[in-house]
Amino acid sequence: MGTDVGQPDVIAKAGPLVIGYGETKAPGTIRQLERVLDTDQLLAYRRLPNLVLTDYLHFLLLRDGVEVARATMISTADLDAGQLNRAAPAAAEELLTVWLSAEPARITSPVRLATELARRARWLRDGIRSELGREAAAAARRAETEAPLRSLHQFYRENLMSDMDADMFADAYAQTVAYGLFVARFHTPGTPFTHQVAMDGIPTSTAFLRSSVRLLLDDATVPPSVGWIVDDIVAILDATSDALVARASARARQRRGRGHLLLRALSRGV
């Protein structure tokens, strides 16, 4: 999601499904919090559908990048003076109630499934791009750290496309992972869809796809900055019925054939 933005500080869930995200900053004035909206981090987070930005004193609620509500628990001036407006906590509580009352993604059609997977593939692409930058910076400092995504990028360059830059790799790999998780879900009907099921669910005949996805499913290798997005994709697929997954697969074959063009194929019109 841009340059070194990591994951949001708070991920709110209803059961396994995500309903909202929160980002916290040090206490300050409302103007200081507003300035955070223009940072690279928040510009990336604006892609999230239900986000609260707070410094514990002020709260901004954004839906799909648009501010829909704001509230102040207590101003810095009142805090310094030891005063509290009794109405202020109620406004903040109402904002947080609205934030937490958001509905998780309801998958009711192949098009909706494709839309939600494509949305998360874009988040994953940006997270991978950010992680590649972090790994490159660590390598430049000669820090003793593993760089699994840079290694995979190099593998793609050597075996798939010699001029594949970081942005192209991030996009291709994110689509591959989203498609691979869908394939795993298709091949494991009637079973709760977990990380382990996903790792085992991709057919062994597709070794490249299997190994690519496993990198981001294994706790030992997945970067924390993208792990939360993979968790969300797994949860979305787990909440999708077997029948709908089968319909989505059939639709993809009809529209575009095979491959991770699934996301584009399904989301082309209703």
In this structure, the answer to whether residues 156 and 32 fall within a common structural domain is no
CA pair distance 233, 221, nearest whole angstrom: 17
Give the DSSP H or E segment for 219: none
Model confidence at 128: pLDDT above 70: yes
CA nearest to 216, candidates 177, 182, 188, 184: 177
Residues 6+ apart with CB under 8 A from 185: 193, 198, 201, 237, 238, 240, 245
In this structure, the answer to whether residues 96 and 122 fall within a common structural domain is no
β-bridge partners, 14: 17
Final residue of a domain: which of 100, 124, 143? Answer: 100
Final residue of a domain: which of 62, 81, 100? Answer: 100
In this structure, the answer to whether residues 124 and 205 fall within a common structural domain is yes
In-domain check, residue 199: yes
In this structure, the answer to whether residues 64 and 127 fall within a common structural domain is no
pLDDT, tens digit (0-9, with 9 covering 90-100), for 187-214: 999 999 999 999 999 999 988 889 889 9
pLDDT, tens digit (0-9, with 9 covering 90-100), for 15-61: 888 999 999 999 999 999 999 999 988 888 888 899 999 999 999 99
- Secondary structure tally for the chain: helices H, strands E: 12, 5
CB contact at 8 A, 138 and 258: no
In-domain check, residue 105: no
In-domain check, residue 3: no
In-domain check, residue 5: no
Angstrom distances, CA of residue 85 to CA of 31, 32, 81, 88, 166: 19, 21, 12, 5, 51
In this structure, the answer to whether residues 141 and 226 fall within a common structural domain is yes
Question: Residue 255 — very low, low, confident or very high, per pLDDT cuts 50/70/90?
Answer: low
Which sign, positive or negative, has the C-alpha torsion 186, 191, 192, 195?
A: negative
In-domain check, residue 1: no
pLDDT given for residue 244 in this prediction: 95
pLDDT, tens digit (0-9, with 9 covering 90-100), for 146-188: 788 998 999 888 988 888 999 999 999 999 999 999 999 999 9
The number of folded domains in the chain is 2
Final residue of a domain: which of 100, 126, 145? Answer: 100
In-domain check, residue 2: no
Residue type, 169: F
In-domain check, residue 253: yes
Look up residue 123 and give its two tokens. 């988040």
Q: Which domain holds residue 76?
A: 10-100
Residues 6+ apart with CB under 8 A from 5: 40, 41, 44, 45, 126, 127, 130, 225
CB contact at 8 A, 174 and 190: no
Backbone angles phi, psi at 165, to 5 degrees: -85, 180
In-domain check, residue 31: yes
CA pair distance 110, 121, nearest whole angstrom: 16
Residue type, 87: A
pLDDT given for residue 147 in this prediction: 84
In this structure, the answer to whether residues 133 and 95 fall within a common structural domain is no
In this structure, the answer to whether residues 139 and 244 fall within a common structural domain is yes
Q: Name the pTM for this structure.
A: 0.80
3-state secondary structure of 151: helix
In this structure, the answer to whether residues 87 and 174 fall within a common structural domain is no
In this structure, the answer to whether residues 236 and 124 fall within a common structural domain is yes
In this structure, the answer to whether residues 144 and 188 fall within a common structural domain is yes
In this structure, the answer to whether residues 78 and 143 fall within a common structural domain is no
pLDDT given for residue 137 in this prediction: 84
In this structure, the answer to whether residues 177 and 139 fall within a common structural domain is yes
